[in-house]
């Protein structure tokens, strides 16, 4: 079985906007649903150019593709692009109240769509028991996760309440940093079309790691059993996050994840250096390898991979460096970031349907250890997080 630590299944969903034009415009709820629908349609249009292999190929993360690829567990990413960008606010503005409500509506839409369209083949799991029942029944299990700490709230109290609500709804982890500084955690450049130095000039950030909101989020997540995802964090944010975790949890009971990254063979700040890999391993966490050519090839290849064999050698280089640092295959996992605007993906790994081929290649290369990479490590950190709760 394949478990994917980071996949954007909700990215292609368009919420219903029930009722006629008058109903949609006459009530606050109707206008909200209409706005959600319009936003989703715009994201879907953008996805044709920046996500899909071609204008007509469709999403990379769908139920038929998951089934074809033998994917049994999907960490399904909830994310509101328009709230992160928020053109009504100046760059670097603090989060506004209301972002969490947008996220919860997306969560509800995902659950409703899976139940309505795929209830016989898939389920959203909120607890270890629900996960085990899904896996025993050979249903595809979805678990919710959140990308972007800006969703959580504008004050410490709002952040604490936001984490409490997300934990109640079964959310497994929150990626605190993301594409832009929104006064939670400083981020590493992650836009493929901008070199790191140019990104820093265009989107300046303060010389800090975690803000007060970021610290509040980490504290609440540890208390509520929601895992911290350190993907997208700047070096300063990484150090401050691990130092705070060591204060809150000196026994290393709570694992940490970096769900869609690579090892830093080259110069990209987005990828993890040796010290970060060591601190994740010290907490018995997992590192999901992203399938973006931009990140995973950095320092290994100057040209994009042209076939599955070349792509697999790139993935293997990251897996083996992580094993070299940590001493085992206990900390490598898969975090494709499919449909997360990471086009072009590694050649031969174009959608969830290609996961079965990757699993076969990993088993041929690593034998019994491959199971840890394909699913065991992801399952371990998931269950550890829920136990911590």
Domain limits, the chain? 2-388
State the DSSP H helix or E strand holding residue 300, giving kind and residue range, or none if neither. Answer: none
**Is the confidence at residue 136, as pLDDT, over 80?**
yes
pLDDT of residue 389: 65
pLDDT of residue 18: 62
- Please give the torsion angle defined by the CA atoms of residues 328, 312, 148 and 4, in that order, rounded to the nearest 10 degrees: -70
pLDDT of residue 20: 53
- Considering the segment(s) 2-388 as one domain, its CATH architecture is Alpha-Beta Barrel (3.20)
pLDDT of residue 342: 94
Evaluate the omega torsion of the peptide bond into residue 344 and state whether it is cis, within 30 degrees of 0: yes
Instruction: Please provide the average confidence, as pLDDT, over all residues in the chain.
Output: 94
Token couple for 186: 């400083």
Chain position carrying tokens 């997306």: 106
pLDDT of residue 16: 73
Helix (H, G, I), strand (E, B) or coil at 26: helix
Average pLDDT on 272-293 reads 98
**Is the confidence at residue 281, as pLDDT, over 90?**
yes
Q: How far is CA 289 from CA 6, 22, 83, 224, 328, in A?
A: 9, 47, 27, 26, 16
**Is the confidence at residue 333, as pLDDT, over 60?**
yes
> Phi and psi (nearest 5°) for 154?
-105, -5
Average pLDDT on 188-217 reads 94
Q: How confident is the model at residue 27 (pLDDT cuts 50, 70, 90)?
A: low
* Least reliable range by pLDDT among 30-34, 55-59, 102-106: 30-34
**Is the confidence at residue 56, as pLDDT, over 90?**
no
Give the residue with greater pLDDT, 388 vs 59.
Answer: 59
pLDDT of residue 179: 97
**What residue ranges in the chain does DSSP mark as E strands?**
2-7, 71-78, 122-124, 140-147, 173-175, 227-229, 256-261, 286-289, 332-334
**Is the confidence at residue 24, as pLDDT, over 60?**
no
Distance CA 342, CA 305 (A): 15
**Is the confidence at residue 26, as pLDDT, over 90?**
no
Cβ–Cβ under 8 Å, residues 149 and 211 = no
Distance CA 149, CA 109 (A): 20
Q: How confident is the model at residue 367 (pLDDT cuts 50, 70, 90)?
A: very high
Predicted TM-score (pTM) of this structure: 0.95
Average pLDDT on 298-305 reads 97
* Least reliable range by pLDDT among 2-11, 65-74, 142-151, 190-199: 190-199
- pLDDT tens-place string over residues 222-259: 999 999 999 999 999 999 999 999 999 999 999 999 99
pLDDT of residue 34: 78
């Amino acid at each position: 079985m394949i478990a994917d630590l980071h996949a954007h299944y909700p990215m292609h969903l368009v919420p219903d906007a029930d009722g006629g034009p008058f109903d949609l415009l006459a009530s606050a709820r109707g206008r909200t649903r209409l706005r959600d629908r319009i936003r989703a349609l715009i994201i879907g249009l953008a996805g044709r150019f920046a996500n899909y292999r071609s204008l007509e190929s469709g999403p990379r993360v769908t139920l038929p593709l998951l089934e074809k690829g033998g994917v049994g567990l999907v960490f399904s990413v909830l994310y509101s692009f328009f709230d992160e960008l928020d053109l009504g606010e100046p760059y670097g503005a603090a989060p506004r109240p209301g972002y969490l409500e947008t996220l919860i509506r997306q969560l509800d839409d995902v659950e409703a769509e899976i139940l309505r369209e795929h209830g016989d083949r898939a389920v959203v799991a909120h607890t270890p028991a629900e996960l085990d029942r899904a896996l025993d029944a050979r249903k595809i299990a979805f678990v919710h996760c959140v990308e972007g700490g800006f969703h959580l709230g504008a004050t410490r109290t709002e952040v604490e309440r936001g984490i409490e609500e997300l934990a109640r709804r079964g959310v497994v982890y929150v990626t605190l940093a993301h594409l832009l500084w929104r006064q939670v955690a400083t981020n590493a450049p992650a836009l493929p079309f901008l070199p790191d130095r140019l990104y820093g000039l265009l989107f300046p950030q303060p010389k800090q790691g975690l803000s007060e909101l970021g610290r509040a989020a980490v504290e609440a997540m540890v208390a509520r059993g929601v895992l911290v995802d350190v993907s997208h964090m700047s070096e300063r944010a990484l150090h401050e996050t691990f130092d705070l975790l060591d204060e809150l949890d000196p026994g290393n009971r709570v694992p940490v994840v970096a769900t869609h990254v690579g090892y830093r063979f080259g110069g990209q700040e987005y990828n993890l250096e040796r010290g970060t890999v060591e601190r994740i391993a010290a907490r018995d966490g997992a590192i999901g390898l992203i399938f973006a050519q931009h990140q995973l090839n950095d320092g290994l290849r100057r040209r994009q991979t042209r076939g599955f064999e070349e792509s697999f050698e790139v993935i293997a280089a990251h897996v083996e460096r992580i094993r070299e640092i940590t001493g085992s295959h206990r900390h490598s996992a898969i975090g494709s970031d499919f449909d997360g605007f990471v086009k072009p993906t590694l050649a031969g790994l174009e959608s969830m349907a290609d996961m079965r081929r990757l699993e076969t290649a990993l088993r041929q290369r690593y034998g019994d250890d491959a199971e840890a990479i394909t699913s065991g490590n992801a399952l371990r950190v998931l269950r550890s997080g829920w136990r911590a709760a």
